[in-house]
Amino acid sequence: MFKEGAECKIELREDLTSMVDRMVYYFYNFDYYNGIDSTKPTEAKPWPALSVHIQMYSIADKYDVPGLRTLALEKFKASISAHDVTCGILTNATHAINKLQLPESDTALRNIVVDAWLLGGFARTLIIQQPKSFATLMTSAPWLSLGLHSHALPTLRFSHVVKQASCEKCKTPSFFTQGEGFVECKKCKADLPIKRLALMKSEVLIPQ
């Protein structure tokens, strides 16, 4: 008894025609094309292809087409693993996924992007060559920042606890390992009782 049932027509005004066309193509072929023309399902360049897969994942999620969502995820993962993927392409993919506003629980696309940033060494390259761009990306995509930190922190270990103080005789600031009794000033060699020092405790993270 809905209008769509009476007219046998559904208008999807909010979606890109090209994406809807691919979705309908999938219903009959269990696949979709990366290019513009459905008669020429040729492989597109990395970023246009990634963009298509991201949008197909989104439209499959919107209309609850599990098979299409799985296919889009597989195609996205294959494309992002290509040798000609760059920092710029990954940055575009990160921003595109941000715009989808997927539920927090849907981490499939995000996890693939995080792995790509790490496995290809792109995160390290970007932070060294373009620190401001890296900072902007981390701010705009908190899930990427969390993902990179979650992978990086387990590779770090805590060093021994150190104490920082100034020698009471020569006033030289020094670091001393934690211990009991006396420590020796590295400059004037004076023996200094730990309990008389103004100590500051700090912990150092050292890459394994």
Confidence of residue 205 (pLDDT cuts 50, 70, 90): very low
Same domain, 135 and 163: no
Question: Pick from 127, 10, 135, 111: which is nearest to 63 by CA?
Answer: 10
User: Domain check: are 43 and 124 in the same one?
Assistant: yes
| 144, 175: one domain | no
Question: Which range in 14-23, 62-71, 198-207 is most confidently predicted, on average pLDDT?
Answer: 62-71
Which band of pLDDT confidence, cut at 50, 70 and 90, is reported for residue 4?
confident
- Kindly state whether residues 137 and 98 are assigned to the same domain: yes
How many domains does the structure of the chain reveal? Answer: 2
Residue 199 Ramachandran class (φ > 0 left, ψ -120 to 50 alpha, else beta): beta
Q: Give tens-digit pLDDT for 41-96.
A: 444 455 688 899 999 999 999 999 999 999 999 999 998 887 678 888 899 999 99
Per-residue pLDDT reduced to its tens digit, 117-174: 988 788 888 888 888 888 888 888 889 988 888 877 666 554 444 455 566 677 766 5
Asked if residue 175 and residue 141 are part of one domain, the reply reads no
Q: How far apart are CA 86 and CA 94, in angstroms?
A: 12
Containing structural domain, residue 9: 3-154
Of 94, 95, 29, 97, nearest in space to 58 by CA: 97
173 with 132, same domain: the answer is no
Residue 69 confidence (pLDDT): 95
Least confident of 23-27, 38-42, 136-140: 38-42
Domain boundary among 154, 169, 188: 154
pTM: 0.66
pLDDT at residue 33 is higher than 80: yes
Statement to judge: residues 107 and 176 lie in one domain: no
Of 154, 179, 197, the position where a domain reaches its end is 154
* The pLDDT value given to residue 200: 40
85 in the same domain as 45: yes
Among 30, 15, 28, 116, CA closest to 69:
30
Q: What is the DSSP letter of 206?
A: E
In this structure, the answer to whether residues 36 and 65 fall within a common structural domain is yes
The pLDDT value recorded for residue 119 is 84
- The secondary structure of 136-205 as a DSSP string is HHHHH-HHHHHHHHHHHGGGEEE---EEEEE-TTT--EEEEES-SSEEE-TTT--EEEGGGS--EEE--E
Judge if 48 and 8 occupy the same domain.
Answer: yes
Same domain as 103, residue 17: yes
Together in a domain, 75 and 175: no
